[in-house]
């Protein structure tokens, strides 16, 4: 069984993102770019399934410009067998990303597609659910545990009320939450080895996917700032202050 893992190149989670003064976007000039942290977890899970003998091949796929090859190489260094770049210049909204991933899914026929639950740039949290809809297959979102058993997977999901368990027939789409696993670190020799692993480039147009970004982003603005507050010296002062404000 093959496992397909979606990887998005995003601004590193440690970067404090700033809106450009003219409101046309955020400042990504010279900023550190990384694999979306959820996607690292998705890939780690795929690798563990392969190492446990439950999968034969792990393929990483990213839709984006040539710069996303850097993140695909990171995926290969982590241990993926091969990589596919769906080449496209502009940004893809989730429906287009899902359509592009569907084409690759149809070509590769994986038993499992594992994606992050959300990309931490646009925080959309949509692509996996959309891919599952278009593919007409099960979705198991926000996974904190995945158990494969023959033709089905039992997935524990992090939901607001606690931990929900569902069972899905394969093939299926799983999106991962943070506590599923802790991704391995990439070692230097693996980076060298990754350079020789195959990375195919598929232009989006050749896949027959038209980019349809039906939501227009008009302006970017910084979030409203909270007023800086006061410091108190003692617990008594803290309680007094809260009482003065009618909060206790």
Partner 1 sequence: MSKILIVAEHDGQQLNLSTAKCVSCAQKIGGDVDIAVLGQNVDGVAAQAAAIGGISRVITVSADHLEHPLAANWAPEITTLAADYSHVLAPSTTFGKDLMPRVAALAGVNQFSDVMEVLDERTFTRPIYAGNAIIKVSAAAGSLVAMTVRTASWQAAAGEGQASIEARDASHADSGHTRYVGLKSEGGERPDLQSAPMVVSGGRALGSEENFSIIYQLADKLGAGVGASRAAVDAGYVPNDMQVGQTGKIIAPDLYWAFGISGAIQHITGIKDAGTIVAVNKDAEAPIFEVADIGLVGDLFTVIPELEQLLD
Ligand X SMILES: Nc1ncnc2c1ncn2[C@@H]1O[C@H](COP(=O)(O)O)[C@@H](O)[C@H]1O
Ligand Y SMILES: Cc1cc2nc3c(=O)[nH]c(=O)nc-3n(C[C@H](O)[C@H](O)[C@H](O)COP(=O)(O)OP(=O)(O)OC[C@H]3O[C@@H](n4cnc5c(N)ncnc54)[C@H](O)[C@@H]3O)c2cc1C
Q: Which residues bind ligand X (CB under 6 A)?
A: 6-8, 36, 38-39, 42, 61-64, 92, 94, 97, 115-116, 118-119, 122, 124-128
The Cα–Cα gap between 72 and 215 comes to 28
Instruction: Check binding of 120 to ligand Y (CB under 6 A).
Output: yes
Instruction: Check binding of 13 to ligand Y (CB under 6 A).
Output: yes
- Closer to ligand X at the Cβ: 114 or 148? 114
- Closer to ligand X at the Cβ: 121 or 241? 121
Q: Which of residues 29-48 bind ligand Y (CB under 6 A)?
A: 37
End-to-end CA distance of the chain: 59
CB of 217 vs partner 1, minimal distance in Å: 5
**Which residue, among 62, 67, 51, has the nearest Cα to 4 in the 3D structure?**
62
Exposed/middle/buried for 145, CB within 10 Å: 0-12, 13-18, 19+?
A: middle
- Closer to partner 1 at the Cβ: 79 or 138? 138
Strands 172-176, 139-149: parallel, antiparallel or unpaired by DSSP?
Answer: parallel
245 binds, among ligand X, ligand Y, partner 1, none (CB under 5 to 8 A by kind): partner 1
**Which uninterrupted H or E stretch holds 78?**
helix 69-78
């Amino acid at each position: 069984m093959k496992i397909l893992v979606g990887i998005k190149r995003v601004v590193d989670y440690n970067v404090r993102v700033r809106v450009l003064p003219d409101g046309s976007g955020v400042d990504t000039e010279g900023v550190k770019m990384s694999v979306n942290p959820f996607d690292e977890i998705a890939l780690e899970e795929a690798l563990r399934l392969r190492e446990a003998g439950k999968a034969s091949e792990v393929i990483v796929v990213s839709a984006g410009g040539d710069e996303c090859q850097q993140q695909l190489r990171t995926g290969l260094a982590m241990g993926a067998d091969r990589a596919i770049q769906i080449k496209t210049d502009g940004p893809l909204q989730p429906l287009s990303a899902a359509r592009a991933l569907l084409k690759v899914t149809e070509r590769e026929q994986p038993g499992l597609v594992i994606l992050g639950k959300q990309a931490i740039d646009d925080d959309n949290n949509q692509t996996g659910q959309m891919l599952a809809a278009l593919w007409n297959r099960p979705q198991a979102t926000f996974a904190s545990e995945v158990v494969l058993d023959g033709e089905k997977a039992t997935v524990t999901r992090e939901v607001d009320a606690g931990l929900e368990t569902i069972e899905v027939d394969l093939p299926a789409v799983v999106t991962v939450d943070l506590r599923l696993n802790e991704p391995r670190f990439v070692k230097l020799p693996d980076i060298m080895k990754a350079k020789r692993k195959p990375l195919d480039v598929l232009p989006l147009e050749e896949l027959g996917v038209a980019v349809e970004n039906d939501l227009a982003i008009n302006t970017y603005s910084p979030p409203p700032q909270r007023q800086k507050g006061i410091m108190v010296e003692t617990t008594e002062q803290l309680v007094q202050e809260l009482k003065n404000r009618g909060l206790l």
